[in-house]
């Protein structure tokens, strides 16, 4: 047995906790999860059945922790998991799973298959079986702080443009601010317009906020590749930045996995609670709306729909807030037939977007999103995740669909009622 395989099998064994054992024991092999996975529904290939993607791990569990499995292994009836098996399963675990959670939602016995795949990836990466694109993103994240090698100098250059566009300074490293805003690499490099949008909204609402030069990246590729140690290292950097600036809140960017990693997995990964609270930018914007501090004017005339980011809505529970915000500015809003917790993934979450090998499959399964959109006759699709935005734009272009994709924060900023000078020469909302 090679050292890598031994490390991988050891990692797989270590991940088999009480929930995993219960999930494997209770699975009735009904196949319901298959019909919740766009990789199965759009290809018809049974190998994409979500629970089947865990077969090597189920085999390890059976052989190591069940009586009949141990006996079968001892008698040579059941062969140990091999490196070739793990290599074969790499495509299923990484290329055809976005960790979207739709399979977990429909499982009749309550098995969290997303949790199981996340655990499976721990063993896969320990055995050296992970996509090269995702490995590269992970290395860049650890070495430069960003999976896209976005440095603080790049951010500062973008901040100069943002300040000019917003007509105001962008706070950086302000100690004692209430909120520390995180960004994703995609927002800095591709959708930088979110920075002036946030600046204008926060200024109008009187929000005390800052960016942090040592912790501006929210994306966590450790979660995506399946390495808790590396995921924890990225979380620690954010926590250190927030503690240094003594903020009360850390705001996740329009990025689903950044939100999941920091809010739901982070404290467990680093082994202690945060001295601050975590909110997604959409949650904060909705709080500003309900308190009357976010004010907009005018309505969009385009027919619009909303794409629910899986990690934000289905996994994170932020369901009503984006719709409440959209209702402020959308004059003709329609829901997809399957929306909210039931919405279909963009196809690129869970690290799939960083895995070039999966591109053809990802674009093929976009047919599910295409079918959702065709009957709506919309001209604009709004979302609240930069990774979704990228994947949706690529899928729409591939299918020659003339639909614009916009970020929710920027859409609100387009209709923002700006702060006005008061009679005393200051400003008021």
Per-residue pLDDT tens over the stretch 336-384: 999 999 999 999 999 999 999 999 999 999 999 999 999 899 999 999 9
Q: pLDDT class for 421, splitting at 50, 70, 90?
A: low
CA distance from start to end of the chain: 67
Nearest to 234 by CA among 256, 217, 253: 217
Whole-model pTM? 0.93
Q: Write the pLDDT tens digit of every residue in 188-232.
A: 999 999 999 999 999 999 999 999 999 999 999 999 999 999 999
Q: pLDDT class for 2, splitting at 50, 70, 90?
A: confident
The pLDDT of residue 170 is above 70: yes
Task: Specify the CATH number of the domain 134-289.
Answer: 1.20.1050
Task: Specify the CATH number of the domain 292-414.
Answer: 3.40.50
Q: Write the pLDDT tens digit of every residue in 245-280.
A: 999 999 999 998 899 999 999 999 999 999 999 999
The pLDDT of residue 100 is above 70: yes
Nearest to 225 by CA among 118, 357, 310: 118
The pLDDT of residue 427 is above 90: no
Whole-number percent of the chain with pLDDT over 70? 98
The pLDDT of residue 3 is above 90: no
Find all residues with CB under 8 Å of 200, minimum gap 6, and list them: 166, 168, 413, 416, 418
- Tell me the average pLDDT of the chain: 94
Domain spans of the chain?
Answer: 3-130, 134-289, 292-414
> How many other CB atoms are found less than 10 A from the CB of residue 130?
22
Predicted pLDDT at 264: 94
From residue 10, how far is each of 61, 73, 176, 247 by CA, in Å? 12, 17, 45, 40
Q: pLDDT class for 295, splitting at 50, 70, 90?
A: very high
CA atoms of 13 and 61, how far apart (whole Å):
7
Predicted pLDDT at 139: 95
Give me the half-sphere count of Cα atoms (radius 13 Å) on the Cβ side of residue 146: 21
CATH of 3-130, picked from 1.10.1060, 1.10.730, 3.10.350, 2.60.120, is 1.10.1060
Helix (H, G, I), strand (E, B) or coil at 251: strand
Predicted pLDDT at 425: 43
Helix orientation angle between 55-65 and 83-90, rounded to the nearest 10 degrees: 140
Predicted pLDDT at 281: 97
CA atoms of 41 and 366, how far apart (whole Å):
11
């Amino acid at each position: 047995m090679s050292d890598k395989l031994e490390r991988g099998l050891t990692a797989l064994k270590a991940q088999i906790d009480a929930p995993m054992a219960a999930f494997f024991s209770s699975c009735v092999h009904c196949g319901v999860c298959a019909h919740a996975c766009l990789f199965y529904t759009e290809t018809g290939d049974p190998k994409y059945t979500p629970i089947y993607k865990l077969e090597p791990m189920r085999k390890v569990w059976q052989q190591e922790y069940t009586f009949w499995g141990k006996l079968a292994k001892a008698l040579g009836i059941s062969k140990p998991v091999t490196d070739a098996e793990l290599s074969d399963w790499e495509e299923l675990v990484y290329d055809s799973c976005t960790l979207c959670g739709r399979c977990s939602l429909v499982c009749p016995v309550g098995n969290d298959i997303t949790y199981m795949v996340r655990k499976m990836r721990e063993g896969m990466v320990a055995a050296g079986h992970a996509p090269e694109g995702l490995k590269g993103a992970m290395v860049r994240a650890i070495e430069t702080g960003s999976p896209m090698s976005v440095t603080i100098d790049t951010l500062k250059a973008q901040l100069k443009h943002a300040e000019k566009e917003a007509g105001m300074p962008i706070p950086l490293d302000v100690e004692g601010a209430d909120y520390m805003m995180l960004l994703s690499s995609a927002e800095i490099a591709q959708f930088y317009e979110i920075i002036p949008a946030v600046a204008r909204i926060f200024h109008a609402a009187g929000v005390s906020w800052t960016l942090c030069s040592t912790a501006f990246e929210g994306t966590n590729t450790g979660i995506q590749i399946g390495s808790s140690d590396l995921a924890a290292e990225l979380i620690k950097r954010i926590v250190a930045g927030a503690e240094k600036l003594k903020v009360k809140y850390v705001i996740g960017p329009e990025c689903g996995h950044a939100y999941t990693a920091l809010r739901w997995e982070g404290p467990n990964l680093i082994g202690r609670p945060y001295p601050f609270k975590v909110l997604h930018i959409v949650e904060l914007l909705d709080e500003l709306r309900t308190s009357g501090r976010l004010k907009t004017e005018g309505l969009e005339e385009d027919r619009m729909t909303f794409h629910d980011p899986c990690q934000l809505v289905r996994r994170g529970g932020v369901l009503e807030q984006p719709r409440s915000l959209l209702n402020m500015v959308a004059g003709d809003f329609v829901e997809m037939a399957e929306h909210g917790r039931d919405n279909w993934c963009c196809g690129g979450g869970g690290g799939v977007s960083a895995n070039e090998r999966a591109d053809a499959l990802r674009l093929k399964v976009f047919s599910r999103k295409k079918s959702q959109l065709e009957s709506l006759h919309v001209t604009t699709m709004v979302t609240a995740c930069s990774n979704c935005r990228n994947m949706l734009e690529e899928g729409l272009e591939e299918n020659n669909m003339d639909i614009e994709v916009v970020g929710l924060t920027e859409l609100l900023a387009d209709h923002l009622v700006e702060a006005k000078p008061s009679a005393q020469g200051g400003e008021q909302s």
